[in-house]
Copies of this chain bind each other. A is one copy, B any other.
Amino acid sequence: MAGPTAYFDPARAAELDPATRDLVERRARVMGPAYRLFYEHPVQLVRGQGTRVWDAAGREYLDAYNNVPSVGHAHPRVAAAMAEQAATLTTHTRYLAEPTIAYAEDLLSTLPRTVDTIMFTCTGSEANDLALKIAKIATGGTGVIVTENAYHGVTTEIAAISPSLGGLDSVADWVELVPVHGDLGASVGAAIARLEARGIRPAALIVDTVFASDGAWPDVDGFVDAVAAVRRAGGLFIADEVQPGFGRLGHGMWGLERYGLEPDLVTVGKPMGNGQPIAATMARRELVEQFNARSRYFNTFGGSSVSIAAARATLDVLRDEKLIDNAREVGEYLLGELAGSGLFVEVRGVGLFLGARLESESRALATVNALRDRGVLIATSGPANDTLKIRPPLPFSRADADLLLTELDRALG
């Protein structure tokens, strides 16, 4: 009866080998039911290098899924920078630290000049939580506009603007949803009118600039108009670059560059430290000053020494290994091959953030599990969960793409 699943089903533990079953059972006892495991047969990873990972039995997998180890698993330069800093000093931002300042200067130089001030956090959730707090204080508004299947994080405040989480806490009554398709400018205009009709002043439009949880759409109509509309209504535009940022789209550092957007606030996270917990909120100075006059913020681990060392090395590797060019070139090749394969209902995306839609969720899930058994890691995505999500570490080579295409062909053949 039951179809294929994206996550391990604890009711099927008996199908696992004894060692895996033992581990799964120990895990369930202490980590509880909110923790899920990818795949019908969970993977126990113990080592990684570049675009490859290995399980406890020594089996190699091609990683076509993980965006956090963005410059490659266990990159030697990032690992060495972290090792050296951990052996030297780890401390917070209430002492002067030149590397933190230099990294902040460098990162801000990649954004539109109006975004000139950074505040470090540990996670994208914290970065969005802080950005929204700044927007609410600076505008005096409370209304927030997000896309229909948005995901911006898991703090209480941010879960309330993340309809993709579902559950009871989504979404708050000060939130209005807009569809990704059609004219985003018109949709945001209508959402502002709905807020105002309820007596709610808009604080912000917050959008993931590649619309990742809405299914990954690289060229949405009316985005520039949407930003203008929220500004006219007294609100701010927060560009959530947690997914598209740091070159994943293969065209510049940020998703907002595709549209020529000039955001009021920008949030970054996941790939920033190649796995180290570091994230940030960047904003126009005036907004941070308004925030600072009315609130306080200090994040003990945000921008701590080892995290900055990891972020510094990650940004250096991204440039030195020309990984943005690689994301564009391999992404274009892979997109073309997927589209030409005839295996998919629709293929879309940009850079190394691609979606390949199948006939049904069931077929997509079966494919993901078949690929895992063949040594290739991907996942499903999209509102209907019928789309293969291909989002590998950025050093993904043309040979890696060919291996993925071969295995996709076999799994779907």
Residues of A bordering B, CB below 8 Å: 20, 23-24, 26-27, 29-38, 42-48, 53, 56, 66, 68-69, 73-74, 76, 78-80, 82-83, 86-98, 100-101, 104-105, 108, 116-119, 122-126, 129-130, 132-133, 137, 154-157, 159, 165-169, 269-270, 274-278, 285, 288-289, 291-292, 294-302, 304-307
In the complex, the answer to whether A87 meets B83 with C-beta atoms within 8 Å is: yes
Option from B20, B165, B297 in Cβ contact (under 8 Å) with A296: B165
A288 vs B130: C-alpha distance when bound (angstroms): 26
Nearest CB in chain B to that of A275: its residue: B90
User: What would 16 more interface pairs be, CB under 8 Å, given A44-B97, A167-B296?
Assistant: A26-B101, A27-B96, A27-B101, A32-B119, A37-B96, A46-B88, A68-B91, A68-B300, A73-B91, A78-B86, A90-B276, A122-B126, A123-B126, A133-B159, A154-B297, A155-B155
Contacts of A300 in B (CB 8 A): 68, 123-124, 269-270
Option from B68, B100, B301 in Cβ contact (under 8 Å) with A92: B68
A294 vs B44: C-alpha distance when bound (angstroms): 28
Interface residues of A, dominant DSSP:
mixed
In the complex, the answer to whether B47 meets A88 with C-beta atoms within 8 Å is: yes
Contacts of A68 in B (CB 8 A): 90-92, 300-301
Contacts of A118 in B (CB 8 A): 30-32
Nearest CB in chain B to that of A294: its residue: B168
Q: How far is the CB of A15 from chain B (nearest CB, A)?
A: 15
A269 vs B100: C-alpha distance when bound (angstroms): 23
Nearest CB in chain B to that of A25: its residue: B101
In the complex, the answer to whether B295 meets A159 with C-beta atoms within 8 Å is: yes
A24 vs B98: C-alpha distance when bound (angstroms): 9
Option from B33, B66, B169, B269 in Cβ contact (under 8 Å) with A91: B66
Given the contacts A157-B156, A296-B34, A304-B277, A89 and B73 also touching, CB distance less than 8 Å = yes
Q: How many subunits of this chain does the assembly comprise?
A: 2
In the complex, the answer to whether B45 meets A91 with C-beta atoms within 8 Å is: yes
Given the contacts A98-B44, A301-B123, A292 and B91 also touching, CB distance less than 8 Å = no
Closest 10 A-B residue pairs measured CB to CB? A90-B275, A83-B83, A156-B157, A277-B301, A44-B96, A277-B277, A32-B117, A79-B86, A79-B87, A30-B104
In the complex, the answer to whether A34 meets B83 with C-beta atoms within 8 Å is: no
In the complex, the answer to whether B87 meets A288 with C-beta atoms within 8 Å is: no
In the complex, the answer to whether A89 meets B126 with C-beta atoms within 8 Å is: no
Q: How far is the CB of A195 from chain B (nearest CB, A)?
A: 19
Nearest CB in chain B to that of A96: its residue: B44
Q: How far is the CB of A321 from chain B (nearest CB, A)?
A: 18
Nearest CB in chain B to that of A83: its residue: B83
A129 vs B278: C-alpha distance when bound (angstroms): 18
Option from B20, B35, B295 in Cβ contact (under 8 Å) with A119: B35
In the complex, the answer to whether B82 meets A86 with C-beta atoms within 8 Å is: yes
Given the contacts A45-B97, A301-B277, A82 and B117 also touching, CB distance less than 8 Å = no
Contacts of A80 in B (CB 8 A): 87
Given the contacts A30-B108, A105-B26, A274-B90, A132 and B156 also touching, CB distance less than 8 Å = yes
In the complex, the answer to whether A275 meets B288 with C-beta atoms within 8 Å is: no
Contacts of A101 in B (CB 8 A): 23, 26-27, 30-31
